A and B are shown apart, each in its own frame.
Chain A
């Protein structure tokens, strides 16, 4: 059983390797950058895969472009810009900062600041004893009501 499973796994992984071609790089540093870039670039055709995982023809072409430009000495920014020029911001899984993505990038900071503000005001209130006294006041009122009984 284990043997069968193992052979199945090996068969599977061999198959999934077979769809993606491999490239030779002149330096290990380029290969690392290639891996990082192809993980970060989005396949325009399949839309929910990066170009490293996709076997769509267009992803194959884009990988070839990334490889070619890396070997030609282009920087990561140049390669991303080249593709954004052609396929739009859509190809970036890590979108840049512009008027469209301003809220996307600033929302976490704004929410965090709001949370901090709420916590701080709450703590201050408690320290001043305002919340406590307000609660005590309410308790007193209720007690009075009950003491008086139904009218």
Chain B
């Protein structure tokens, strides 16, 4: 009994070390979407630059990215060239123009190029709210049946694509990103 008791503080210390090391490797800012595994929430939004309305069902049929962007969002400009590259490689990207001025959005796409199959306009951010968007840029993956599979907050680059997004597209795509 006595020798065991002597190691009690050491054991307690080691336990604490394990807990703290675990704490270091956790990222408290990582926030999984509450919509994972659910169908894309219903929406009825105008397509940017056109007078057509789109519903969630229209985006079914193949896995796709939904990219939340706005002209006021600096990081969106950063990820834009990479989105163009993805689109060129055959990735379907739907744009969600989030709380933005549609006029400015059109100018932005004219100037920088348009990686989106189509962009819908969520001017007051209500669809964004249903989806759980809390800023821009955010990128969601939906599968062929319109179920939300993944959410990435922040800029999409090659590393994010390869590590987080590409796996959802592997079935239908041979190569994404750079070739």
Q: Contacts A47-B28, A86-B34, A88-B33; is A65 near B129 (CB within 8 Å)?
A: yes
A117 within 8 A of B: no
Residue of B nearest to A90 (CB): B31
Complex Cα gap A84–B28 (Å) = 18
Asked whether, in the complex, the Cβ of A88 is within 8 Å of the Cβ of B135, the reply is no
A104 within 8 A of B: no
For B28, B129, B132, B134, which residue has the most chain A Cβ atoms within 10 angstroms?
B134
Q: Contacts A57-B99, A65-B129; is A44 near B33 (CB within 8 Å)?
A: no
The count of A-to-B residue pairs whose CB atoms sit within 8 angstroms is: 35
Residue of A nearest to B124 (CB): A61
B150 within 8 A of A: no
A103 within 8 A of B: no
Q: Contacts A47-B28, A47-B29, A61-B125; is A86 near B132 (CB within 8 Å)?
A: yes
Q: How many residues of B contact A (CB 8 A)?
A: 16
Chain B residue numbers with a CB within 8 Å of A90 are 31
Out of B32, B130, B135, which one reaches A86, CB within 8 Å?
Answer: B130
> Chain B interface (Cβ within 8 Å of chain A)?
28-29, 31-35, 99, 125, 129-135
> Could you pull out 30 A-B pairs where Cβ atoms are within 8 angstroms?
A44-B31, A44-B132, A44-B134, A45-B135, A47-B28, A47-B29, A47-B31, A56-B134, A56-B135, A57-B99, A57-B135, A58-B133, A58-B134, A58-B135, A61-B125, A61-B129, A65-B129, A84-B34, A86-B34, A86-B35, A86-B129, A86-B130, A86-B132, A87-B34, A87-B132, A87-B134, A88-B31, A88-B32, A88-B33, A90-B31
